[in-house]
A = this chain, B = another copy of it.
Amino acid sequence: MFKIKFLPYNLEVFASPEETIIEIAMRCGIHINASCGGAGACNKCKIIIEEGKVKGEVIDNNFYKACQTFPLSDLRVRIPVESYIDKRAEFLKPKKKASFLSKEIEKLPEPPFKKLYLKLQPPTIEENFSDWIRIKYTLEKEKILNPELNINILRKLPYVLREKNFEITLNLYYDLRKDRYYLIDIESGNKVSQNLGVAVDLGTTTLQLELIDLNTGEVLASISDYNPQISYGEDVISRIEFAKRKDGLKILANSVKEKIGFLIDEMLKATKKNFDSINLISVAGNTVMSHLFLELEPKYLREYPYTPVTTEFPLIFAKELGLPFKDSTLIQLAPCKASYMGGDIVAGIVASRMAEEEPLTLFIDLGTNGEIVLGNREFLICASCSAGPAFEGGGIKNGIRAVSGAIEAVNIDPITFEPMILTINKKPPKGICGSGIISLLANLFKVGIINKAGKFVKNIKHPRIREGEEGWEYVVVWKEDSAIGEDIVFTENDIENVIRAKGAIFAGCQILLESVGLTFEDLERIYLAGTFGNYIDLEEAITIGLLPDIPREKFFFLGNTSLEGAKLALLYKETLLKMEKVVNMMTNIELSVYPKYMEYYMAALFLPHTDEMLFPSVKT
């Protein structure tokens, strides 16, 4: 880590050699003009390196492009006048990742899937039990009673036993929920070391996978990609509709299964591991995704009274799903609570451990629905907020998902109204993703371009503020700098959608708290889950009234807790039972049946809120 001193602010921060100067500046709230998202195209983000070494491109003799320059030592960086207009630097605390998340993983794994090496006595005329009884008796000594057994194992049993003189490796799955063992497979010799698992976060938009050594708990590889079901519908509703077509459900199921198979294959290739070493795949997904994955009828999920086919899932062999693995590969899924409270949230709650601890915690997963869970080890109450897809770029004119070139952070200069933008992977900007949308809205509001109601202040004369075809809008990126050949704008309509989304979540949190007689002040922790949650700027989220204005140290970014929960279920046999207990603990409330919900929602359709007392730290 290097020490970077920004002048004229006299602000020092630590930074790694992997960060560009513009990223470091953005993180510290230092404005540097930038239009190209960090692609190195606009030449606006000029800085002067007064001291220290950097790797970067020199322009106009003395300057470096902040978006292309990395520190190689401690630095003194000066932002020249043309690159900034004075802006009070606000030092944001680095995002805290809840430390206990990794603690669990440090325990020695005790996976539900276990490989047991046995050296059996070969039969004699005095002890000529059948091959299976020989194994059964040995298992009984290990307190493994009455495992479920299938005919395929019996068919290969005599050959496997005799291949290495009665040395075998049993593949066992233990379901703690039923206290039941399953004999999954049998191999000759000692095959204990070949024991891999895959954790899958089965997201509506994104699949995130990790390849894990079940013996050590080590993450060998990780990968993520779109859920290919997107081609058949962006959100869960349109996929449920697609599933009603002839073979629609099968098409959806096959597409995601194929992709999962492909992604696992990629990880195996990268780690030079064998396909047949995959023994257990642990999946966490929302209720719709879980239904589509298993080819279960999804239509009743969105028909009143919103009944899933099932909220708990049996152990399934890969071959039953037609997944391209060896026959004995197993699939387990995180249980769901209700149609709109899925296994991803249940897995997240377990990963967060909030249901095992004392502090009153509000868990917020900022996906399409905005699921929120309130509670601690005494109780859990949850609701889905129907926030809509605004935070995933849906319903936003230039909204896109968090892909390369998506604007993920914005700063607007309060004097010039010029934006500084950063894009994912520093590619030329294509559109605005969730964290960029929050950032943009917060900035427009803070610099006074829009008012409390989210409407443009009409008397500002500025080329970036104009009346477009769809009403008033702010031009975030001019056509020349954009990757899409046209201006990237943020419209009044977009703003309305975002405000509705944040209002739904905030009002949902209020109802949850009120339903148990509590207030935001009682909260000891707020957990922000979801990969998206990991990228948002806390101050900006509070500024727009998405998150409550409580002491910042109470906030924790947990990252992808769905994946984390799926991984825990892979590594610890008690995890699925914990998830089942969480499901049983949870009281799911339908916000729509609370008359006050609409009232709170309406009050939240302002920036930050109608009731400014709720957001004392947000100054306009």
Residues of chain A from 328 to 382 with CB closer than 8 A to chain B in the complex: 336, 338-339
Most chain B CB within a 10 A radius of its CB, from A130, A150, A155:
A130
Least Cβ–Cβ distance between A300 and chain B, in angstroms: 6
Q: Is the Cβ of B314 less than 8 Å from the Cβ of A131?
A: no
A593 contacts B by Cβ under 8 Å: yes
A304 — nearest CB in chain B belongs to which residue?
B125
Q: Is the Cβ of A125 less than 8 Å from the Cβ of B590?
A: yes
A127 — nearest CB in chain B belongs to which residue?
B305
Given contacts A297-B155, A590-B125, contact A314 B178 (CB under 8 A): no
Q: Is the Cβ of B128 less than 8 Å from the Cβ of A310?
A: no
A124 contacts B by Cβ under 8 Å: yes
Most chain B CB within a 10 A radius of its CB, from A123, A158, A336:
A158
Residues of chain A from 143 to 181 with CB closer than 8 A to chain B in the complex: 146, 148-151, 154-155, 157-159, 177-178, 180
Q: Is the Cβ of A309 less than 8 Å from the Cβ of B158?
A: yes
A132 contacts B by Cβ under 8 Å: yes
Residues of chain A from 270 to 308 with CB closer than 8 A to chain B in the complex: 294-297, 300, 304-308
Number of interface residues of A (CB under 8 A): 47
Least Cβ–Cβ distance between A151 and chain B, in angstroms: 5
8 Å CB contact of A309 from B148, B154, B306, B314: B154
A312 contacts B by Cβ under 8 Å: yes
Least Cβ–Cβ distance between A312 and chain B, in angstroms: 7
Q: Is the Cβ of B128 less than 8 Å from the Cβ of A309?
A: no
Residues of B within 8 A of A593 (CB): 125
Residues of B within 8 A of A155 (CB): 294-297
Residues of B within 8 A of A304 (CB): 125
Residues of chain A from 602 to 619 with CB closer than 8 A to chain B in the complex: none
Q: Is the Cβ of A320 less than 8 Å from the Cβ of B128?
A: no
A415 contacts B by Cβ under 8 Å: no
Q: Is the Cβ of B151 less than 8 Å from the Cβ of A311?
A: no
A131 — nearest CB in chain B belongs to which residue?
B309
Q: Is the Cβ of A148 less than 8 Å from the Cβ of B148?
A: yes
A132 — nearest CB in chain B belongs to which residue?
B310
Residues of B within 8 A of A312 (CB): 130, 132-133, 136
Given contacts A296-B154, A314-B151, contact A306 B131 (CB under 8 A): no
A162 — nearest CB in chain B belongs to which residue?
B300
A100 contacts B by Cβ under 8 Å: no
Q: Is the Cβ of B305 less than 8 Å from the Cβ of A124?
A: yes
A136 — nearest CB in chain B belongs to which residue?
B312
Q: Is the Cβ of B307 less than 8 Å from the Cβ of A123?
A: yes
8 Å CB contact of A154 from B125, B294, B300, B590: B294
Q: Is the Cβ of B310 less than 8 Å from the Cβ of A154?
A: yes
A299 — nearest CB in chain B belongs to which residue?
B158
Q: Is the Cβ of B308 less than 8 Å from the Cβ of A130?
A: yes
A251 contacts B by Cβ under 8 Å: no
> Mask for A250-282, Cβ within 8 A of B = 1, else 0?
000000000000000000000000000000000
Residues of chain A from 103 to 148 with CB closer than 8 A to chain B in the complex: 123-125, 128-133, 136, 146, 148
Q: Which residues of A contact B (CB under 8 A)?
A: 123-125, 128-133, 136, 146, 148-151, 154-155, 157-159, 177-178, 180, 294-297, 300, 304-314, 316, 320-321, 336, 338-339, 590, 593
